[in-house]
Structure 1
Amino acid sequence: MNETRKSDKTRPESREDRLGKALRANLARRKAQARARADHKEGGQAENSAPESEE
């Protein structure tokens, strides 16, 4: 009758838990990439937006 239960910390994660964690990590990585691209794009446009002198 006395069953030994493993605590939640020692129990392996379920498939859904692992997939959810991977999905959140992927989303965070993609957001960081998008922010980096936007920052780079804005910086590049600022340099090119100045009118060129005509000679």
Structure 2
Amino acid sequence: MAEQKPSESRRKPAASREDRLKSALKANLARRKAQARKRADGQDKNEQTES
């Protein structure tokens, strides 16, 4: 059987956790930007119709 060093086995979970967090943060940021754009578009339309 091949021996695994403890440091190598610990790197993979940490790296996968960082990757998961990075992708979750990216998705959250994209969703928030889309919401902000939608709100801004809605406000612009309301301002144009009120004038």
TM range (shorter): 0.7 to 0.9
Residue correspondences, number: 46
Stretches of structure 2 that go unaligned for 5 or more consecutive residues are none
Q: Distance in 1 between matches of 2:3 and 2:27?
A: 35
Query: Which has the larger helix fraction?
Result: 2
Greater Cα offset, 43-52 or 28-37: 43-52
Identity, % of aligned positions: 11
TM-score by length of 2: 0.73
Moved over 2 A (4+): 50-54
Backbone CA RMSD of aligned residues: 1.8
